[in-house]
Structure 1
């Protein structure tokens, strides 16, 4: 995975050393920010011993006097098989008097991680640093984005579901793009557990009711298919064994009522029959779950004669 590949290559003080080297930083600001802030959870996310107060190893970054709060993010985000989803967030950054958040080499940004803060299995970051506006001498209001690229391997199918929000900051203190940086002068703050959201595999649902027209009392066969995004193949795949409702809306009405509930087959297909009574629309409706959003098929009209 793209994010994991970046993170797996670096850790601890070596991560920062690699990132501040000019050759290691990408030409565009988005890529450099993704790389730079992406190293912070890797450096401090597994044990965090390098940044624990009083136990910081010699030559490691110091613990930056920054905390985060009031993190705002939506409840759920749908990601298709090749989607780029950019998630807007906001948060409050509180810092010590010795931290200059307006410095050109101070960066902060939000991210999402899957699993626990101390031992995450995946994370996604933003393409660019957040922007912050001071609300007092020690508080700033920040806005940023978290970018997910399904087509570039940011997600595996098992990643669908609940994610946790976090924020981080790096104060480079003049060590940015320095050939031989002093790692001990670089400050890092990293805080998890700020909010929860769902990252879901986009779903699709079809329906076809036939024959059309049909005689009153005749049999109508209603078929359909439930699919959802496969982030590993970058295509839609069958969603099997799921409960789906067959619903009917009488012509002239605006309300669907449930006729029965059936399950998708091993290929995600749906099939059932009903008796024709009056003109109206048939559709399938999937209620959704934590990994896959709800979806309704467009109603298919049947003329009963």
Structure 2
């Protein structure tokens, strides 16, 4: 079911839910008695999606009331009116007057998305009900990123190479396209070329190159010593960061 269909279904359910609790709220104790203390999605990490495989992740809402917490409803909202509801019931685990209420969600680009517009910032909405029937409705109680998975390749040539000669380093930056369900070139993006000298513990930046109109990368460097080259792309709001698997060059 695509995300626009899910929106319609959830919109009706949400309207019923709001109609059901709106009137009692006016008669109940002040809503500020119920607090939402913390919201964690996918362990604090972005939800990264490839072209077809779905990803299941948890959203937890920590909430407090003097009477304890009875239940919680959790809904996710994203760009272009994208929406997701829990896979099953929300489970609340109490520790005194505080409870952590957790729901499982699944986002599947193959069935939930028509295009790439759901990539970006998503928000967590929560409706919490205390044991004394106080309620707390929190819009945008938390936020997280849903990102398109990126891939990156590297090739350095010629190999082996004489010291001081010109080495050509190429590669390609691609990312998941949820419309075609294939990986496509990510164009006009800044990508760092990094080098790790043989025996060194980490990589160091050499230069920054822009991907072309097909996502391809190309640059040249002077060969100086044995070591490994790789491309490195930093994440942005819609796309994951990724490092290419390094290519070792033997300099003679």
TM-score, with structure 1 as normaliser? 0.68
* Unmatched 5+ stretches in structure 2: 26-30, 130-134
Q: Of 69, 77, 83, which residue of structure 2 is paired with 1:113?
A: 77
CA apart distance, 1:283: 0.6
Count of matched residue pairs: 236
Q: Of 181, 202, 208, which residue of structure 1 is paired with 2:155?
A: 208
Question: Structure 1 residues 216, 154: closer, same or farther in 2, change over 3 A?
Answer: same
CA RMSD of aligned residues (A): 3.0
Q: Of 133, 142, 164, which residue of structure 1 is paired with 2:93?
A: 133
- SS for the counterpart of 1:7 is helix
Structure with the largest fraction of strand: 2
Q: Of 104, 114, 124, which residue of structure 2 is paired with 1:165?
A: 124
| Structure 2 Cα separation of the partners of residues 267 and 144 of structure 1 | 40
| CA contact 2:191–2:209 (8 Å) conserved in 1 | yes
Residue 6 of structure 2: aligned partner: 6
Residue 132 of structure 2: aligned partner: none
Aligned pairs for 1:75-86 within 5 A: 75-86=45-56
Aligned pairs for 1:193-272 within 5 A: 193-272=140-219
| CA contact 2:72–2:126 (8 Å) conserved in 1 | yes
- SS for the counterpart of 1:61 is helix
Aligned pairs for 1:151-162 within 5 A: 151-154=110-113, 156-162=115-121
| CA contact 2:225–2:251 (8 Å) conserved in 1 | yes
| CA contact 1:71–1:89 (8 Å) conserved in 2 | no
- SS for the counterpart of 1:159 is coil
Residue 36 of structure 2: aligned partner: 69
Is 1:299 matched with 2:222?
Answer: no
Higher Cα radius of gyration: 1
Which sits farther off after the overlay, 73-82 or 257-266? 73-82
